[in-house]
Amino acid sequence: MTARFSTPLLLVIAAAQLGAQQPGDEAAIRRIIENETTTWNNGDAVGYSRDFARAVTFTNIRGQYFEGYDAFLKQHQVIFAGIFKNSTLKQEIVSLKFIRPDVAVVQTLTSVTSAQSPPGVARDASGAFHTRLLQIVTKYRGLWKVVTYHNTDLKAGTPLQTVK
């Protein structure tokens, strides 16, 4: 009787393992954040956009909303040639949570220096401005891609530490 149930049981276990989070997934997502920082600091809009899905949604620190990879790339080409030319980005991952084996939510605390301030964005005493960046990443055909990118500037007086 056990032989009759072993094949279906093995199929269920195999299917669960195929959908399970793989050991390298967190590292792959951390590499996306590292790539964002490196390519931003090089003013490389194409490199910065590399890990973004075709159907990405993007809300910037001014509240402007964009849809699609091409709009994301174009907006970053504009800002790297203008307001954020020669700026420096730093990112600290404050939360990386898998909500499914193929979906993760990443929150970073960012700081940008050597840039013009977008209207209404506060700077700290050192001249940097700070944001909290929420990114949702999904794994499709073995690759992690950003599907949602939502950036919110921190207003003057907002604590930078994570509240738990």
pLDDT(15) > 70:
no
pLDDT(164) > 60:
no
Question: Could you report the per-residue pLDDT of 49-70, keeping only the tens digit for each?
Answer: 999 999 999 999 989 999 999 9
**Domains along the sequence of the chain with CATH:** 24-153 (3.10.450.50)
Q: Which residue has the tokens 């898998």?
A: 98
pLDDT(95) > 70:
yes
Q: Which two tokens stand for residue 163?
A: 């509240």
Strand order in the sheet with 129-140: 65-67, 52-59, 143-153, 129-140, 103-113, 88-100
Name every residue whose Cβ is closer than 8 Å to that of residue 6 and which is 6 or more positions away in sequence. none
Q: What is the pLDDT of residue 19?
A: 52
Reported as a pLDDT band with limits 50, 70 and 90, residue 6 is low
Q: Which one, of 113, 120, 116, 93, lies nearest residue 36 by Cα?
A: 93
What's the rounded mean pLDDT across residues 68-81? 97
The pTM (predicted TM-score) of the whole model is 0.83
Q: What is the pLDDT of residue 55?
A: 97
pLDDT(8) > 50:
no
pLDDT(145) > 80:
yes
Q: What is the pLDDT of residue 13?
A: 42
Q: Which one, of 127, 114, 113, 123, lies nearest residue 153 by Cα?
A: 123
DSSP-H helix ranges across the chain: 2-18, 25-41, 45-49, 69-81
